[in-house]
Amino acid sequence: MRTELHKVVVCLAAVVMAVGLAACGEREEAQKDELLEIISATRPLAREFVYVDQPQNGTEIRVVGVVEDSFRFKARLSVNNQPIKEEVAVDDALAVRFLDATHVGLFLDEERSAEAMKAPESADGAPVPTPLETLQAGRWVLDPTGAPSLLPRADAQRLEGEDPVLDALAVLDYVAQIVEANGAVRYNKDALEPVYKPAEDRFPKPAQGAAVTRYDVPLRKFPKASDQGGKNVVIVPGVENFRKLSVFVRDGRVIEIREDIDVASRMDDLRRNFDVKTQFTVEQAVTAINEVRKSKGEDPFRPRRMQLQLVFEDEESVSLPEPGAFIQAPLSFLRHRGADVPARKGAGAESFGDATGDGDTSTTTAVEASEQPAPSA
């Protein structure tokens, strides 16, 4: 009799656990869908933005600007507080100028750089500077059909980190793809099993009952050497094993995004799960993982901290430079700009901030300060 009773208790416990897991799964799925709907509702809104990308080497890449709609934006790129370039797009037209001419070469498309040396035709036959000369002089070049689209693209034309301006403009789509693939959970400071370990959670934590809601994207389970899919298949960690990503929402809109692709905190997992006895640095670990990923045709990843802040206005106006302030010429010699943008060249392209030096990495937060100063582009 006692044995039969024990079996009943065990069965009931299993049923309760299964029901609890199912309810938890349904709740997390609902929270994921809820966040995706909020991102979709935010995407078409006129907004000002501040985007900060801090790669592993300590560089600060900052883009500030305005998005009027999916076809109109203006943006200013700075590196370590040094303004580099400005862009303005209105419908199909794109205008670009460099505030620091020494950086022009970083943006040239090698396969199309010859177009930078073609001088536009002059109505009166007078000499006209080439597009490259104009950009090096700090003046605007306008391409009537050169604007990149801000609409979501299934065929990505670049790797994250190659083009900070487009990265800044596409953050909502970037995050939506990650949430779709990995889910999202509302932050709960009292959770018994928080999404991120408290000691490794650097993101702002909204107070109980605050107007701001935080959603966290779970880390993927860290792989082990024993997970290999056959003797010729090598499995290594990917960005989803290192990425902490939180989205902050108020009044049904995304107001801030924080990302921390943190390899340093997983070094013990790397050594243990792959039985590595020798000591190695974070840089060596990232290089080794990316070499394997590239050999398999997979995109490399880079450790970084990213922050996006959004401020919404009823109306934002974006306009091209005044006539006479620019020369008109194709901008397809700039990477990812101009008509007929070349297809993505594949994994292994260098990130924009790889070769730059240290900078001030201090940032503010839309959660800690509910009203942000308007960025000016």
**Is residue 298 one of the residues assigned to a domain?**
yes
pTM listed for this prediction: 0.84
- For 315-336, write each residue's pLDDT tens digit: 778 999 998 899 999 999 998 8
Q: Which of 45-49, 159-163, 296-300, 355-359 has the highest mean pLDDT?
A: 45-49
How far apart are the C-alpha atoms of 173 and 171, rounded to whole Å? 5
53 class by beta-carbon count within 10 Å (0-12 exposed, 13-18 middle, 19+ buried): buried
- Is residue 9 included in any domain, yes or no? no
Encode pLDDT of 58-101 as tens digits: 999 999 999 999 899 999 999 999 999 999 999 999 999 999 99
Q: Which domain holds residue 215?
A: 14-355
Task: Tell me how far apart the alpha carbons of residues 157 and 52 are, in angstroms, rounded to a whole number.
Answer: 21
**Distance of alpha carbon 243 from alpha carbon 221, whole angstroms:** 11
Domain-embedded: residue 22: yes
Do the domain assignments include residue 364?
no
Q: Is residue 4 part of a domain?
A: no
Q: Taking the mean position of all CA atoms in its chain, how far away is CA 282?
A: 21
User: How many other C-beta atoms can be found within 10 angstroms of the C-beta atom of residue 340?
Assistant: 8
Closest CA to 238 of 183, 280, 300: 300
Under the banding of pLDDT at 50, 70 and 90, the label for residue 153 is low
- The pLDDT of residue 157: 56
Give me the phi and psi of 48, to 5 degrees please. -100, 150
> pLDDT tens digit string along 207-253?
888 999 999 999 999 988 777 655 566 788 999 999 999 999 999 99
- What's the total number of domains in the chain? 1
List residues bridging with 93 in a β-sheet.
90
Report yes or no on 35 lying in a domain: yes
Residue 289 has pLDDT above 90, yes or no: yes
In a domain, residue 217? The reply is: yes
